[in-house]
A = this chain, B = another copy of it.
């Protein structure tokens, strides 16, 4: 039973590090949270509920995540929007050696003019796999509730 609590704490530590990386503008470290053969998707809840698989963003390996960061760095030269991620309701179970995890997220952003507001909420649907460096994302699906979501130039969620 103790082992289960440790797993919960390990998931928390991974999620803490992930949010810390994105929210403090160290995007270059972001692909390192995923394994090479990974899946990262951003998809509206509306589509998931309707059984439409079409995601807004679909990266099916770690190289695509690297490319995305490079594009963002080239595009957002001035005053990028700032994110702060907040999580809740972390639920997990084992699936063979992997962990299947879901959680709520809230992203509050602050514009270059200093206005902070709710940017989006949604649910993470994750599969974690054990590596020599600890748990990493085999897949992370970001299912967002909010309609107004910028996709081209947005920092990853």
A97 contacts chain B at the CB level, 8 A cutoff: no
Interface residues of A in 140-157 (CB under 8 A from B): 145-148
**For A110, A113, A148, which residue has the most chain B Cβ atoms within 10 angstroms?**
A110
| Contact A16-B148, Cβ < 8 Å, known A5-B9, A116-B121, A118-B117 | no
A146–B102 contact, CB under 8 A?
Answer: no
> A: which residues have CB within 8 A of B?
5-6, 8-9, 12-13, 16-17, 19-20, 23-24, 45, 82, 84-91, 102, 104, 106, 108, 110, 113-123, 145-148
A88–B85 contact, CB under 8 A?
Answer: yes
A-B CB contact pairs (8 Å), 23 listed = A5-B9, A8-B12, A8-B13, A16-B89, A16-B90, A16-B91, A19-B88, A19-B104, A20-B102, A20-B104, A23-B123, A24-B123, A84-B104, A84-B121, A84-B145, A86-B86, A86-B87, A86-B88, A106-B108, A110-B145, A114-B148, A115-B147, A116-B121
Measured CA separation A77–B89 after assembly (Å)? 26
Copies in the complex: 3
B145–A91 contact, CB under 8 A?
Answer: no
B145–A82 contact, CB under 8 A?
Answer: yes
Contacts of A110 in B (CB 8 A): 121, 145-146
Contacts of A86 in B (CB 8 A): 86-88, 104, 106
Contacts of A118 in B (CB 8 A): 108, 116-118
